[in-house]
Structure 1
Amino acid sequence: MLYFYLKFIHVLSSTILFGTGIGTASVMIYGHRTKNPIVIAAISKYVVFADWIFTGTSGILQPLTGFAMIYLAGFSWTSLWILGSILGYVVAACCWFPVVCLQIKMRDLAIETVKNNTTLPEKYHRYFLYWFILGWPAFLSLVGVFYLMTNKPVF
């Protein structure tokens, strides 16, 4: 019975992780496209908060529940679908940490811009480009993890 509770938490947290990632990325892009520092400052505050609360919590639950299920089900740790899933998750996490740092920097620059009634500095746009680029390998890695988890292919 423990396995099924873990599986429920694992699937639910993966949905939250993936959904929050897509949702916050979409909102951040929409805000950026307005070129309005007031909008960007407001949106980025919520994006940073949502990423820490939802993505961060789910990001912790995913490996904990996943490893527990591997152990309880007796799956081989050397199965390629498990190794591929772990690798994909690590790639996504390695992209996510700098993305969050960039979001914080962009938020702070937007808030400073609003306070000083100036235009967004070039640094903001450079951070946005890095943020956008890092989002793609994270997204594609998680799509790959979803595939491996749901199909458990044998190579």
Structure 2
Amino acid sequence: MYPFLFVKWLHIVSSTVLFGFGAGTAWYFWNAHLTGNPALIARVGRMVVKADWIFTGTSGVVQPLTGLMLVHFLGYSLFEPWLIATYGLYLVTFACWIPVVWLQIRATRLAEASLISGVPLGTDYRRTMHMWFALGWPAFLSLMGVFWLMIAKPTL
């Protein structure tokens, strides 16, 4: 029973880190953006990108690994409809996360360039942040769906 409980604990903790850091870094980056202050945006952006790679990225790898282990421990088929829906939503999240990280890096670099040059943030920066914001919502909502599916395990 101990390996099962450890894997279950790791799965729950990594889901908390994945969701918590994802929402938290998005909150801080968006609020830095709202200030329009390139120095603040660049500083927060560097921290957000680092946190996304260290925490969100790591937990994003741990989640499917521990999830597959739990499926095995509990004797579920990998093709349960609720699991297939979970895989799909997780892929949507991942497909949004990759460009979101790239957009965070781009926005941070644009803010750094603005700071160095003294030229205000321009259209490229605003377009980058609009894309970042737009991609954040499907990722957020997909993870909410994954949480619901993990808890409810509905018959689909």
TM-score normalised to structure 2 length = 0.97
Paired-residue identity, %: 46
Runs (4+) of structure 1 moved beyond 4 Å? none
Structure 2 CA distance for aligned equivalents of residues 135 and 126 of structure 1: 14
Q: CA deviation at 1:37?
A: 0.7
- Structure 1: give runs of 5+ residues left out of the alignment: none
The letter for the 2-side match of 1:38 is A
More off after superposition, 109-118 vs 95-104: 109-118
Structure 1 CA distance for aligned equivalents of residues 73 and 8 of structure 2: 11
Structure 2 CA distance for aligned equivalents of residues 89 and 7 of structure 1: 18
User: What secondary structure, in the 3-state scheme, does the structure 1 residue paired with 2:41 have?
Assistant: helix
Aligned twin of 1:3: 4
Aligned twin of 1:153: 154
User: What secondary structure, in the 3-state scheme, does the structure 2 residue paired with 1:120 have?
Assistant: coil
Q: CA deviation at 1:121?
A: 2.1
TM-score normalised to structure 1 length = 0.97
The letter for the 1-side match of 2:54 is I
Aligned twin of 2:124: 123
Q: CA deviation at 1:23?
A: 0.4
| Structure 1 vs Structure 2 CA RMSD | 0.8
User: What secondary structure, in the 3-state scheme, does the structure 2 residue paired with 1:5 have?
Assistant: helix
Aligned twin of 1:113: 114
Aligned twin of 1:18: 19
**Number of corresponding residues:** 155
